[in-house]
Each structure stands twice: as structure tokens, then as C-alpha cells.
Amino acid sequence: MRSRDGNHSFTLSISTIIFLLFNSSALLFADEYLISYQSSIKDATLYNETLLISKAMQKCQGETIDKNLILKRDKKNDLKKILLANRENFDAFLEKIGLYVEHREETRNSVNHSFTTLTLKTTCFKVDFNDNFVKITPLEQPNR
């Protein structure tokens, strides 16, 4: 909307600043969780899968990464249930932020065998529970 003196960019810049402050402050008040994941696959069959989630007892160090995951929630505050209910989106998100992959193949008696382990080392995530969705943002770990 144009003001009386014809300067409409000022009102636009104020609304932009307010939006950016609101959007970034949401992560300031987000809870921090430690999440680790490992799965073992033998001959294209999932043998073992472990998802460990713990609320961080101390403030995590590091900067947020631009990649985030937004999931619908059904009034649950249990992060593990939300992630398991949205398994495909969570798996794709883990691939984006980086999984350690270990793969072996061997042939015995003309039969191929393969073994793959996917691992996400313990990583801190900022988790913001809103009314209808959950925003999950990983923190970049400082060099240890």
C-alpha cells in the first residue's frame, strides 16, 4: 500500500523484517533432540533397524543447516511416533543430510551375498512443534 508521500517500499521492508524475525525466532525456541539411526541390510532384506531419539540435556553447539524437514502431526508430541508415521519422508531427509554407507559383497559357491549398513551418527536437531506440523532442522557439528 502506498503511503501519502508515495513511499511504499518502507512499509514493505518493515513487513519483510517482521516476517524474517518471526521465522528465525521460531528456531530459537525449538527443542533440541539427539537422533541416531542405523540399519543393516543383508541380501536385500532389512535385518536390523535402530532409531534412537533423546532430548538433549545440554544446549547443542553448531549452526543450523539450510536443509529441514516439515511433517504433519496429529496432536502428538512424541517425535519418534511422528517420524515413524512419516517414514518415507524421514528416510529421504536422512539421505539428504548424509548417511555413512558401508557395503560389502562376496561370492561363495557361485552365490552372491551383500551386506549394507546405513548409519547416521548421533546428530543434534532443533525440533519445533507447531499446531499442525513439526519442523526438524539439523545442526552442523563443529569439528571434534
How many angstroms separate the CA atoms of 53 and 34, rounded? 6
Taking the model in full, what pTM does it have?
Answer: 0.72
pLDDT of residue 26: 47
pLDDT of residue 142: 65
Q: What angle do CA 68, 132, 27 make, to 5 degrees?
A: 40
Is the pLDDT assigned to residue 4 strictly greater than 80? no
Is the pLDDT assigned to residue 19 strictly greater than 60? no
Please give the average per-residue pLDDT across 113-117, as a whole number. 94
Which three cell numbers, joined as nine digits, stand for 119? 548409519
Please give the average per-residue pLDDT across 111-140, as a whole number. 91
Residue among 39, 132, 141 nearest 90 (CA): 39
Please give the average per-residue pLDDT across 107-113, as a whole number. 91
> What phi, psi does 133 have (nearest 5°)?
-150, 170
pLDDT of residue 9: 52
pLDDT of residue 114: 94
Helix extents (H) in the chain: 9-28, 79-85, 87-97
Which tens digit of pLDDT belongs to each residue from 43-95? Answer: 989 999 999 999 999 998 888 888 889 998 877 778 899 998 888 999 899 98
pLDDT of residue 24: 46
39 — pLDDT class (breaks 50, 70, 90): very high
pLDDT of residue 22: 46
